[in-house]
Amino acid sequence: MAGPMEETKPDRLLGRTIAGKYQIEAKIGQGGMGSVYRARNVVTGKVVALKVLLEDLAAYPSFVERFLHEARAAARVTHPHAINIIDCGREGEVVYLLMEYLEGETLTQVMKREGPFLPARAARILTQICSALAEAHAHGIIHRDLKPDNIILQQAAGEKDYVKVLDFGIAKVVDGQERDRDAISRRVFIGTPEYASPEQCQAKSPTALSDIYSVGVILYEMLAGRPPFEGDPMEVMLKHVHEEPPSLRALRPDVSPEIEAVVRRALSKDPAARPQSAWELAEEFERAVRAGAGRRTVRLPSRPTSVGGVPVRPTRPQESAAPTARLIRSRWGVALASAFLLVGASGLGYRTYRWLTNWPPLPPPPAIAAPPAPRSIYDPLSEAWRLFEEGDREGAARLLREIIAGSAPGNARAHYLLSLIYLDQGETAGAKSEILLALEQAGGVFPEAQLQLGRVLWEEGDAEGAERAFRAALEQSRGRLIAAATALGELYLRQGRREEAERLLGEALERAGEDPEDLLEVGRILLLQKQYELAVRELRRAIRLKNGRFPEAYLVLGRVLLERGEAPLAVEVLSTALAKRGGNDPTARHLLGRALYRLRDYERALAELRAALLLRGGNFPEARYDLALVLADPAVGHYEEAEEQLRLLLELRPDQFPEAREALAELYALRLGRLEDARRLWQQALSRSEGAAWLDRTRDALLLHAQGEPIQRLLRADVPPRLTFDLALAPPSTERHGVLLLRSGDVALGFRLERARELSVWSVRPVRLIGAREDVLEPLSDPPDPAMPWTLTFMTDRHEVALALNGREIVRAKRTGATTGTPLLVSLRGGRAVLFHFRE
């Protein structure tokens, strides 16, 4: 594409080097305030645009000082849709501003070539203009000269209408001069008549609402093909003050009344009657366009084929879904037209864009999680959402790629939904890339995408970034995105900021409405507050309102039931959620695995937890942690695999799972008998008090490891009247019985562990040996869980010995031999046992 302006004749600045490294190559424009040159960094070769103030303006010290001050301030406030400032300063008589070098066409050029725009295209361009304008207004900068010549359209991410707004800042700078105002104003005209607000035309002080009017004129021209008033500049200014604009629908009969009403409001003579912010104008126009589009009917294409079982992961979108870093960097060459440099042009941009900035508030876009639209008004995004909800991630991703590749309206939402699919698969990098693309295409204002970004950052361990994103989602939605309040409140709770969390969650409950999505978030909040009964009630209401088609509410309900200790009912509810997602929901499988473990259905619990990990590509820390706990349970006995899972978890999330470090230490000490490894981890434990307690309790630990043959060890050389200690058992996964005995003289007391099959609960049967006679008693009716350490107490006197388990006597025998000078021995057959924390 050719540049938008031709190079003019050279001047004395050509060939000069500015700021020690920018060599001026060509003059590419002239404006009322100065000239613009193409320059090149002699070190890196990067091309930049260099604006030089006119010498007579540079002769005013107060003007130059103010200009440079405002330029530096603006350079710290960048935005993706405003030209970026690189540097500014003065060298001798040259006062300069360095900017990014843009390639593209002005909106004026595009409209002249292509004619009026469809409303959907105008909406996309308007949203980006308003995003830059709102950021400027938030920093007290009024543009004062918004017009199509100051708007550049570029190619980016497969889109041909990526907006860059030029000339921020200088009008405010000029207005800031108190000295020599008249001299300066004779040289610089602030504004362009065709796009000036009534108050500007009356020489009144412009405000942010003056910029709103100018944007309204641009919007009118995008739809009508011409501005509302044309002709002699003075006549045009009088018309802005006294006349209503010609009817838009008279020029464009296909434009809906809703669209015309929004444009007329933006062009109100009274600033108070206009939209009161740039985002309000963007949101009103977008809503009007949707209302008009909703009347049209399109043919229904064939539905993508569903993939059963664990889905194949969707291939990444093609070039249109390239990583956002490629969009944000200034990678395009540059040609600045003279039209870019008309009166007041400084090109003051904003700081390098950060997606976690607190954007000006905007009500949330319509939720995509609505029930599928009737087939007569088929919407591909709604169809993609339906496929995702039903667990057909491959079909949803395929449809979204088609939307993106076709540059259809709604690409921001397509990228957003694709990010949900990536995150559902555990691909946080792909999810983040898609979220940033969604934000880029939505002009940075997309509350649901900010919420999703916060969730990704949280999962990555960036709590500070997650908080910023959650706050941005709340501000952009004006507090109406209850899910953002829930997420931020949960983050605060995890950080121990209880008062902030309670205040935030309380406010969210007050704002919540009666729609199913709000009731879902109410259920989440009540779960966080441990108000389980109320949570169950609200979640069941949400499910009823959706006629049972609400998998996410089933998931939260299952979690609530688990917390309430109702594992059987939780299994039923979570199974329903999983069925509604076609079996392809990792969270449902994770929670179902947890519920089955509580029911001691170890085989199915392991299967569900492994499936959850598989569905998320292994990137599911919570499921990996629960899987390790199940594997380390003596009923399962896969201790080495449990170690592997915990070590992997600590490698992937070293700072997010302190409980994993403690679980690994306990596994080493209580199941594998690796006490030195356990002590090393306890010394590193984030919970210092807990680590110190374990170190103290295990300092005198004794390990028994019976490999095939029984093993026996000395406990005491002389039997004390009473000896208490803790016992951790690790029976092998492949055996069905094991025996531990405490022997004094010719009497031994202990217990036998038994089970009917692998992956099942151990029963505990007390055992008594007197001489050669062995008595195996009935199993304990309420046996302790081998997953937790037991407390054993061996008691003896001159006549009897007894054994108590967890404070309850389980077996007793009469002595037949000496009571003094007899050692106390412990023997084990099958597996490992760790005896520790001895006390007499």
Q: Catalytic residue numbers?
A: 145
* Token pair belonging to 746: 């010719």
Mention every residue, 6+ apart, whose C-beta is less than 8 A from residue 751.
739, 740, 764, 765, 766, 767, 805, 810, 811
For 458, counting Cβ atoms within 10 Å of its Cβ (0-12 exposed, 13-18 middle, 19+ buried), the class is buried
Give the type of residue at 362: L
R_g over Cα of the chain: 36
> CA-to-CA distance for 814 and 829, rounded, in angstroms?
24
> CA-to-CA distance for 252 and 220, rounded, in angstroms?
11
> CA-to-CA distance for 438 and 129, rounded, in angstroms?
16
For 306, counting Cβ atoms within 10 Å of its Cβ (0-12 exposed, 13-18 middle, 19+ buried), the class is middle
3-state secondary structure (DSSP) of residue 82: strand
Give the end-to-end CA distance of the chain in Å, rounded to a whole number: 90
Widest CA span in the chain: 124
> CA-to-CA distance for 637 and 641, rounded, in angstroms?
9
CB atoms closer than 10 angstroms to residue 632: 26
Mention every residue, 6+ apart, whose C-beta is less than 8 A from residue 308.
582, 583
- Cβ(158)–Cβ(404) under 8 Å? yes
- Cβ(3)–Cβ(335) under 8 Å? yes
- Cβ(662)–Cβ(690) under 8 Å? yes
* Token pair belonging to 291: 């209302």
> CA-to-CA distance for 2 and 104, rounded, in angstroms?
8
Q: Which of 246, 209, 339, 210 is nearest to 201 (CA)?
A: 210
Q: What is the dihedral of CA 440, 441, 443, 446, to 10 degrees?
A: -90
In 482-573, the DSSP E strands lie at none
Region label for 582, one of left (φ > 0), alpha (ψ between -120 and 50) or beta (otherwise)? left
CB atoms closer than 10 angstroms to residue 157: 21
Q: Which of 573, 638, 569, 558 is nearest to 603 (CA)?
A: 638
Region label for 288, one of left (φ > 0), alpha (ψ between -120 and 50) or beta (otherwise)? alpha
Pairing verdict, β 800-805 and 808-814: antiparallel
CB atoms closer than 10 angstroms to residue 447: 25
C-alpha distances in angstroms, 635 versus 287, 562, 707, 761?
Answer: 59, 21, 18, 6
Q: Which residues pair with 773 in a beta bridge?
A: 770
> CA-to-CA distance for 469 and 460, rounded, in angstroms?
13
Q: Which residues pair with 36 in a beta bridge?
A: 29, 51
> CA-to-CA distance for 348 and 168, rounded, in angstroms?
5
- Cβ(444)–Cβ(430) under 8 Å? no
- Cβ(245)–Cβ(227) under 8 Å? no
The packing angle between helices 551-563 and 586-598, to 10°, is 30
* Token pair belonging to 738: 């094991």
For 44, counting Cβ atoms within 10 Å of its Cβ (0-12 exposed, 13-18 middle, 19+ buried), the class is exposed
For residue 599, the number of C-alpha atoms closer than 13 Å in the C-beta half-sphere is 19
Per this entry, what is the length of the chain? 840
